[in-house]
Structure 1
Amino acid sequence: MRLFFSLLFSIFFAYPCFSGVVELEPITISKFTLGRYPLDADILLAEDIKKLPLFSLEKIADYSSGVDIRQRAPGGVQQDVFLRGANFEDTRLAIEGISISDPQTGHFTMEVPLTRADLKEVEVYKNSRLINIKLAAPKTKGAVFASSFGEHALFEQLLSVNFSLKSIKNRLSFEHKSSKGDRQDTDFEIYNFSFHSLWENQAGEIQFLLGSTKRDFGANSFYSSHFSQEEEHISQRFFSGRFSFRGEGFELDNAIFFRRHWDKFILDRHNPEFYTNYHTTYLYGFETGIEFDNKAFVDIKTRKEKITSTNLGNHSRTGAGLYLGLKDKRAGGFIFDLEAGFDYYREWGCLESLHLGLGYSLSDNLKFQFIFDRLCRKPSFTELYYISPANKGDASLKSQKTNNFEAGFDYYGENVKLAFGVFLNKQAETIDWVKDGPTDPWQAKNIEDLKILGFD
């Protein structure tokens, strides 16, 4: 049984807390009309995040129904997120609306360069296959320290400090966790670091975020059941800057971002010369958007993705997108939101996107909703270019196109919130790994159309 203790303090109060077993409070997932897609969000709030075990950022989304998180190792080393039966490659991750999904492989998408102290809300949009992380605003002062230990030499620490420099509020956070692993070649050591700075007044705000994660771990059978002595080393850096201006009747928002991900994969950690790969990916871009008081908005986005790899080679792709619509528009008992747009890539042309959400309040406590999403996914660099004796990518892959439908009810009682929905996912040009025969390698292909019908 895992032994656990924690110590939390602020600059005003300090107290220790020791316990052999910690019984956590219930976690409540709420459905709110917030964000770009207000009718399709499961939201975990800050007060619920505090109830979670220490250092469990990777588990937060798992509290939403329809979400399947498959850990390849404990401690948040690496995990794949499946939404409503879709492939983990289809799951998108964003920080404050900026997409940071890994272009090399979905295995790296959930390696978030943040600590638990940075989180305000986690929004899960199941129909849109999107997880969005909203950041807690830095405060003028305050600090948090937490630590835990357990079997297999598990040791974890978190330190987060809020401070101000004149009118600029800042938060500096550091997190470390390590273990020898519960079986051979499952040891790990993880460092997370973040710095968040915010200046704001009535006319707007300026904020910067710098995040970093470093992970070294034994990857026992992560990628092949024939090799139980795999090892991986990962380093990621993320930076974003945002400038918002509120004028008469509108708000203008501009953001720049940069993400660098490096990994070294060793097939046999006791014989590194046998097979070792190095990969470095870069993701950077600019986004600007304007929202009017009547809830209409226009967004323009551009980004570049690049990879240098000893296995996949050197490749890059550039995309530009235009989106417009209405969000959280209300008329009588109706609420609706609409977004239409596209991302253009030379390799795949226009990748269209459409979102429609319609809700109607049948009473003060009961709401009906219908949601439709049209999604297009371009192949990852691994699906396009990876070559090994066991796996072969395909540089001619087409983009995957999906139509997602959802209909359901939400009930809000005094002490209970219930939600029920039926969903249908229709997918064309599905990208997946298949075998032609038992001795053939896995190959990335556009396979037949798929349909997924379910409820949650």
Structure 2
Amino acid sequence: AQGKDTIKINQIAEKNLDEVVIWASADEPVNQVAKIVTTITREEIGRLKPQSIQDLLSYAASVDIQTRGSHGVQADVSIRGGSFDQSAILLNGINISNPQTGHYSFDIPINISDIERIEILHSPSAIVYGASAFSGGINIITKKNIDKELSAKVEGGSYGLFAGEIGGAYRIKNVDNRLSFGYKQSDGYINNSDYRIFNLLYGSRVNLKENKIDIQLGYNRKNYGANTFYSAAYPNQYDNTSSVLASVKGEFGSKLKFLPSIYWNRHYDRFELIKNSGKSNNHRSDVLGSN
């Protein structure tokens, strides 16, 4: 006997759906996208008395700072829920984001006394800063147009803490110059948490009637014990980094502005999973760009 397969088709009642209206429009130009900017002013910096740029950013809305070490040793920044590799870091409008990893985003040669203000761009329009600004951008603006200035700061504390800054500005005819040094060190409050940080920054602005040319040169060096920075299984990690930057940026025209720039960043990194083991990972990254 042969069985017969049968398929039963259930009748489904028809139902009329409401109309759906679809509107078509062109993409909005980036320069017309609404911008959400948070500004940390010089006056606010003076009231907060921060120890590092990371301390300052921790007060800003939509910015999450995850620090490792103290005094600005290392930190990851997240804007609007993005990862630490999705936020651009700029110095006077020049992108200095680290292409190797966002862990080194704050290996930058700047002291608190150099900062005029910090602008944090939260909106999608931050993409004008480049692909690294997927979730936002942080633009650090240094002091300019100062005739004469001299400042110095020294502090000390427990566990061999010492920190000092000295900076000055001087105008020669139509050229504004600023130079600053910074140094921090500590023996660490627990094993392998010591650090040494050195910053050097020079900035110059050439004023040519309605035109301006900005030049900046910087050097940053850090070496620190990275106790459990990346894994609790290896408490004796060690990092030694250095970075160099140079840029020239122009501002030409009165009614129609032309803002060309050219820049170069170099970053060195020597990482030891086990400090003083004789084995290390060494990296060098170079970024050359223009706008």
TM-score, scaled to structure 1: 0.53
1:269 to 264, 275, 283: 275
**How far, CA to CA, are the matches of 1:267 and 1:57 in structure 2?**
27
**How far, CA to CA, are the matches of 1:231 and 1:132 in structure 2?**
29
1:36, CA displacement in angstroms?
9.2
Name the one with the larger strand percent: 1
**How far, CA to CA, are the matches of 1:126 and 1:166 in structure 2?**
39
Q: Which residue of 2 aligns with 1:228?
A: 235
**How far, CA to CA, are the matches of 2:46 and 2:278 in structure 1?**
41
Q: Which residue of 1 aligns with 2:107?
A: 111
Alignment check: 8 A CA contact 1:259 1:284 kept: yes
RMSD: 1.8
Q: Which residue of 2 aligns with 1:286?
A: 290
| Cα distance change, pair 213–37 in 1 and its aligned pair in 2 (3 A) | farther
**How far, CA to CA, are the matches of 2:40 and 2:256 in structure 1?**
29
> What secondary structure is seen at the aligned counterpart in 2 of 1:64?
coil
Q: Which residue of 2 aligns with 1:96?
A: 92
Q: Is structure 2 residue 137 aligned with structure 1 residue 130?
A: yes
* Paired AA for residue 272 in structure 2: I
> What secondary structure is seen at the aligned counterpart in 2 of 1:102?
coil
Q: Is structure 2 residue 248 aligned with structure 1 residue 252?
A: no
Q: Is structure 2 residue 54 aligned with structure 1 residue 48?
A: no
* Paired AA for residue 259 in structure 1: N
Alignment check: 8 A CA contact 1:138 1:171 kept: no
> What secondary structure is seen at the aligned counterpart in 1 of 2:81?
coil
1:198 to 177, 183, 205: 205
1:164 to 158, 171, 175: 171
**How far, CA to CA, are the matches of 1:38 and 1:242 in structure 2?**
26
**How far, CA to CA, are the matches of 1:162 and 1:97 in structure 2?**
21
1:62 to 55, 58, 65: 58
The within-5 A match list for 1:49-448 is 49-53=45-49, 55-128=51-124, 129-247=136-254, 249-273=255-279, 276-287=280-291
1:58, CA displacement in angstroms?
2.0
Q: CA offsets per residue over residues 358-381 of structure 1, 9 Å max, x none?
A: xxxxxxxxxxxxxxxxxxxxxxxx
**How far, CA to CA, are the matches of 2:33 and 2:177 in structure 1?**
29
* Paired AA for residue 204 in structure 2: S
For structure 2, the 5+ residue unaligned runs are 1-30, 125-135
| Cα distance change, pair 156–138 in 1 and its aligned pair in 2 (3 A) | farther
> What secondary structure is seen at the aligned counterpart in 1 of 2:85?
helix
Alignment check: 8 A CA contact 1:176 1:190 kept: yes
**How far, CA to CA, are the matches of 1:112 and 1:38 in structure 2?**
29
For structure 1, the 5+ residue unaligned runs are 1-34, 288-456
| Cα distance change, pair 118–237 in 1 and its aligned pair in 2 (3 A) | same
**Bigger radius of gyration, 1 or 2?**
2
TM-score, scaled to structure 2: 0.81
**How far, CA to CA, are the matches of 2:231 and 2:115 in structure 1?**
34
**How far, CA to CA, are the matches of 2:266 and 2:145 in structure 1?**
24
Q: Which residue of 1 aligns with 2:9?
A: none
**How far, CA to CA, are the matches of 1:47 and 1:223 in structure 2?**
36
Alignment check: 8 A CA contact 1:54 1:148 kept: no
**How far, CA to CA, are the matches of 1:245 and 1:48 in structure 2?**
31
Alignment check: 8 A CA contact 1:200 1:206 kept: yes
Q: CA offsets per residue over residues 247-272 of structure 1, 9 Å max, x none?
A: 4x311111110100001001111322
> What secondary structure is seen at the aligned counterpart in 2 of 1:50?
helix
* Paired AA for residue 116 in structure 2: K
Percent of aligned pairs with the same residue?
A: 28
Q: CA offsets per residue over residues 337-372 of structure 1, 9 Å max, x none?
A: xxxxxxxxxxxxxxxxxxxxxxxxxxxxxxxxxxxx
1:37, CA displacement in angstroms?
7.3
| Cα distance change, pair 93–225 in 1 and its aligned pair in 2 (3 A) | same
Q: Which residue of 1 aligns with 2:133?
A: none
* Paired AA for residue 167 in structure 2: S
**How far, CA to CA, are the matches of 1:108 and 1:277 in structure 2?**
15
Alignment check: 8 A CA contact 1:138 1:196 kept: no
**How far, CA to CA, are the matches of 1:49 and 1:176 in structure 2?**
19
The alignment of Structure 1 onto Structure 2 pairs a total of residues equal to: 250
* Paired AA for residue 143 in structure 1: L
Of the two structures, which has the highest relative contact order with CA contacts closer than 8 Å and spacing of 6 or more?
2
**How far, CA to CA, are the matches of 2:287 and 2:67 in structure 1?**
25
